[in-house]
Amino acid sequence: MTALLFLMVGLFAAAPALADTIYVSNEQDNTVSVIDSTTLKVTARLDVGRRPRGIALSQDMARLYIAAGDDDRIEVLDLKTGRIVETLPCGEDPEFFALHPDGKRLFVANENDNVISVLNLEAKKVTAEVAVGVEPEGVAVSPDGKLVAATSETTSMVHIIDASTLALVENILVDTRPRGTKFSPDNKRLWVSSELRGSVTVFETDNWSEAAKLRFSVPGVPRELVQAVGIALTRDGKRAYVALGSSNRVAEVDAESFSILGYYLVGQRVWHLALSPDQKRLYTANGNSGDVTVIDLAGRQAIKSLPVGRGPWGIVVAP
């Protein structure tokens, strides 16, 4: 179908007042920006380790885990005090990671070592390493906690790991330079983005067959600038949002029919995405323009972009 292009319309006031807090890692500033979702203003910029990229909230929403890539560690930020309270070893050059639903383990992509490190948060040490392809980046854990998926950029594969035994159970070829990966809320499908092909492949997790191939094309934008990276899925599994890198767009996808519903214009070089807890907004980290774009999903429009720092990369929202 012909996709409708949704243009950013500027500084509209958001419809409902929200009480969430958005955290953004700025990899070139070595900071985490804190945004109040009601005022849409940056309330703090917190100093963290060198080259922060992947970030994730603890299950109790009291701490923020931060991959400090150039310091080879995971930092733990206390959200009440805004201070780093722990630094945890995690292997060389951590880029992205995922928290297991048990809240006890982080699965960390070590880009330079070509492994996924398993960081035990209680023991505060790496207890295992799983060898994968060259330059692992994207990591996801299935909602039921049974599987871990990891993409390797240079090998162009997604690797499936048994979360209990840590056995590598599948190696699946995907489109060139895979970046993001995400399991569907019902555990039945795995989404994998390809930066260089500007595509997303969706796999059935029962047999790893291909359920769909999405190819993105933005009117007026050269194909080589349409670079699929971060992925966000709604809790009901009905919508998917895909960051399209240097095209400065986010695609909205019907996750049941796999129809591309349209594109939102956001900041430059959009990396990662985060949905608000009420699923009414989508926030994007835009690496080259140094800002976060706020998308009103009900109104189907981007309502504001606000500066946060140099090289925003990871983004999460806490209620």
CATH at 137: 2.130.10.10
Q: CB 195: neighbour CB atoms within 10 A? A: 22
- Domain total of the chain: 1
Within 13 Å of residue 6, how many CA atoms lie on the same side as its CB?
Answer: 20
Cα(13)–Cα(18) distance, integer angstroms: 12
Cα(35)–Cα(39) distance, integer angstroms: 8
274: tokens are 């985060």
Q: What is the pLDDT of residue 18?
A: 54
Give the residue numbers spanning the domain of 13. Answer: 4-318
Q: What is the pLDDT of residue 19?
A: 82
Q: What is the pLDDT of residue 304?
A: 97
Q: For 76-92, how does the pLDDT look when each residue is reduced to its tens digit (9 = 90+)? A: 999 999 999 999 999 99
215's CB contacts (< 8 A; 6+ apart) are 197, 198, 199
Cα(49)–Cα(51) distance, integer angstroms: 7
Q: What are the residue ranges in the chain where pLDDT is below 70?
A: 1-18
Q: For 246-289, how does the pLDDT look when each residue is reduced to its tens digit (9 = 90+)? A: 999 999 999 999 999 999 999 999 999 999 999 999 999 999 99
SS3 assignment, position 226:
coil
